[in-house]
């Protein structure tokens, strides 16, 4: 088995001369611009990472994979690799046609010869592949809300790989890794799949796994797409590079895998095994809850913690790779070293820090002990995750017209500027209308676009460590949620509902808008002819009736202090 994995593997690329000719001819073909996930899939199709696939799956292959993890010819393959496109594009193409597959910049990567076109039953796919049609699962959410409605299948002609500008020397194709292992004389190679930074416990378990299998170690982290909320891959790769010299130099290699994970638990583990075999590995570490996405919408784990190991073990002969058990490693205080959780000496004190606790310590700038992680790794994590009081954040006021949002936002801005330390930007409705959205009207659609623009600007301010204060009406819950998700990728989002009643807003009517709305001169006016969906769980609700502005702004400050965003 071990020698088999070192022979070159078939790729889908044509020769340089043919590629130049095809690039020229492809100008006349219909083009599909690939999504980030499709680019990841295509790269692994073309370089042999998904071998034996020779293209995006046909309907027969797709159905076999969904139902019983097998291609139409019976070969084991657990995850559907399909090209999803929009209905509008699907209408323009048909089986028997070629299309050009391009990256986001329009650079041609491959040509797909369409053999199949169909509308999948996505609920059924979710049920079978991910175990539940539950939107709390990131891949199920992607399937229903991001992926196109129509699938295209057929063989691929590879023209050129996608360009990566980062960590070029760390990216290897399956054949490049196989050649490296041949050159180093590595017969046995154990792969460690990861999407998280490596801490001491990971280093201990990878050490042990390699030692038990008498194998060399390939640290093979995923840098394509992982789970929303994961540490970005630039930070992670810097962390991996920081720990590489903690391993014996001649026995360990680091290579990056441009895979778009699906977080499909047991099926994903088998898939990872096939991919690692294609990259020339002979063994793979499979952990507790391997590639699990966390909790489902009922608050329970999506997969049993050992289901991935069981499924992998039952197929390992066919995958062509041996599974190495991932021992959960814990630190024993009295012995000052790591032990597998099932071999702890009796009566000893076990220390452990969970992922949640680690994030809390980073957020609050607390100490992270050396027994838990290497100082070099902690230093990298602190760069991208400074304590909350040094991070950017957004305060998002929402409420009816005339509720006092702008007035409180102005007062808050002045108070934050007085404190100093971070730039503060006020994105007030009227100012935004003038500079960002002058061409928009006040229809529901245009108001939504306006709010999303405000959200985008606020997310950039937050990402760059500033404070954004927004005060639009923002009547719709779905739009506010979209803005929250945009901003929470980079920092805290503090929603403040200015809960002034409609009667009070109409009594104030500073701009005379309510009067015009009542007379029918303003259509679709929030609170009169258009609904206002009050936030169900804002971070703060303030009431402005019979309360001065200063007090309201101070309540917001207290909330920011309580959340650790500003220092007392």
Check 5, 47, 82, 194 and give the catalytic one.
194
- Dihedrals φ, ψ of 114, to 5°? -70, 125
* Spatial separation of the C-alpha atoms in residues 200 and 399, rounded to whole Å: 49
| Number of alpha carbons in the 13 Å side-chain half-sphere of residue 242 | 19
Distance CA 383, CA 376 (A): 11
Phi, psi torsion values for 273, nearest 5 degrees: -65, -45
- The DSSP bridge pattern shows strands 540-542 and 393-398 to be unpaired
| Residue from 270, 227, 214, 213 nearest 140 by CA | 227
Instruction: State which H helix or E strand residue 246 sits in.
Output: none
- For residue 141, indicate whether it is catalytic: no
Tokens of 426: 């006020």
**CA–CA gap between residue 501 and residue 534 (Å, rounded):** 11
Chain centroid offset of residue 173 CA: 23
Residues 70 and 77 sit within 8 Å (Cβ to Cβ): yes
| Count of CA atoms in the C-beta half-sphere (13 A) of 361 | 15
Q: Contact 46/110 with Cβ under 8 angstroms?
A: yes
- Compute the distance between CA of residue 392 and CA of residue 419 in angstroms, rounded to an integer: 15
In the residue annotation, 238 being an active-site residue is answered as no
Q: Which of 37, 178, 195, 388 is the catalytic position?
A: 195
Instruction: Give yes or no: 194 in active site.
Output: yes
Are 350 and 307 in contact by the 8 Å Cβ rule? The answer is no
Q: Which residues of 272-284 are buried (b: 16+ CB within 10 A; e: fewer)?
A: bbbbbbbbbbbbb
R_g over Cα of the chain: 27
Residue of 75, 115, 141, 196 with catalytic role: 196
Alpha-carbon distance of 495 to 43, in angstroms, equals 41
Active-site amino acid positions = 194-196
């Amino acid at each position: 088995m071990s020698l088999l994995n070192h022979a070159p593997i078939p790729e889908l690329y044509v020769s340089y001369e043919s590629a130049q000719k095809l690039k020229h001819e492809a100008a006349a073909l219909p083009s599909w611009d690939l999504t980030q996930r499709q680019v990841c899939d295509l790269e692994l199709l073309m370089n042999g990472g998904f071998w034996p696939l020779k293209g995006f799956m046909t309907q027969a292959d797709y159905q076999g994979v969904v139902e019983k993890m097998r291609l139409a010819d019976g070969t084991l393959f657990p995850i559907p690799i399909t090209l999803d496109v929009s209905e509008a594009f699907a209408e323009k193409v048909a089986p028997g046609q070629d299309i050009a597959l391009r990256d986001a910049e329009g650079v041609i990567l491959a040509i797909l010869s369409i053999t199949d076109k169909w509308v999948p039953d996505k609920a059924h796919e979710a049920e079978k592949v991910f175990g539940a049609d539950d939107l709390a699962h990131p891949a199920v959410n992607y399937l229903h809300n991001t992926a196109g409605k129509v699938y295209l299948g057929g063989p691929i002609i590879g023209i050129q790989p996608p360009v990566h500008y980062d960590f070029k020397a760390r990216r290897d194709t399956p054949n490049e890794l196989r050649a490296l292992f041949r050159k180093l004389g590595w017969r046995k190679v154990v792969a460690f799949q990861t999407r998280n930074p490596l801490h001491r416990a990971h280093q201990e378990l990878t050490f042990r796994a390699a030692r038990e299998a008498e194998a060399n170690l390939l640290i093979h982290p995923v840098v394509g797409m992982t789970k929303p909320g994961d540490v970005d891959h630039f930070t992670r790769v810097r962390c991996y590079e920081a720990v590489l010299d903690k391993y014996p130099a001649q026995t360990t290699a680091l290579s990056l895998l441009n895979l778009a994970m699906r977080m499909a638990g047991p099926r994903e583990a088998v898939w990872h095994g096939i991919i690692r075999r294609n990259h020339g590995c002979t063994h793979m570490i499979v952990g507790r809850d391997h590639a699990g996405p966390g909790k489902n919408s009922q608050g329970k784990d999506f997969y049993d913690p050992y289901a991935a190991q069981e499924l992998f073990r039952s197929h390992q002969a066919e995958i062509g790779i041996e599974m190495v058990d991932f021992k959960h490693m814990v630190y024993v205080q009295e012995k000052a070293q790591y032990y597998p959780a099932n071999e702890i000496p009796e009566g000893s004190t076990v220390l452990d820090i969970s992922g949640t606790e680690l994030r809390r310590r980073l957020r609050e700038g607390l100490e992270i002990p050396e027994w838990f992680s290497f100082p070099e790794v902690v230093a990298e994590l602190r760069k991208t995750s400074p304590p909350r009081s040094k991070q950017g954040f957004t305060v998002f006021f929402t409420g009816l017209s005339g509720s006092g949002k702008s007035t409180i936002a102005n007062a808050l801005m002045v108070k934050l500027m007085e404190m100093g330390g971070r730039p503060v930007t006020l994105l007030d409705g009227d100012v935004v209308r003038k500079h960002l959205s002058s061409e928009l009207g006040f229809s529901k659609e245009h108001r939504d676009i306006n709010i999303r623009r405000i959200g985008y600007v606020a997310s950039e301010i937050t990402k760059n460590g500033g404070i954004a204060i927004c005060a639009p009406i923002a009547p719709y819950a779905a739009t506010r949620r979209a803005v929250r998700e945009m901003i929470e990728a980079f920092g805290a989002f503090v929603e403040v509902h200015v809960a002034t009643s409609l009667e009070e807003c109409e009594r104030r009517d500073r701009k005379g808008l309510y009067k015009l709305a009542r007379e029918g001169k303003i259509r679709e006016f929030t609170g009169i002819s258009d609904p206002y969906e009050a936030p169900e769980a804002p971070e703060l609700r303030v009431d402005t009736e019979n309360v001065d502005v200063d007090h309201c702004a101070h309540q917001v400050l207290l909330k920011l202090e309580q959340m650790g965003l500003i220092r007392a």
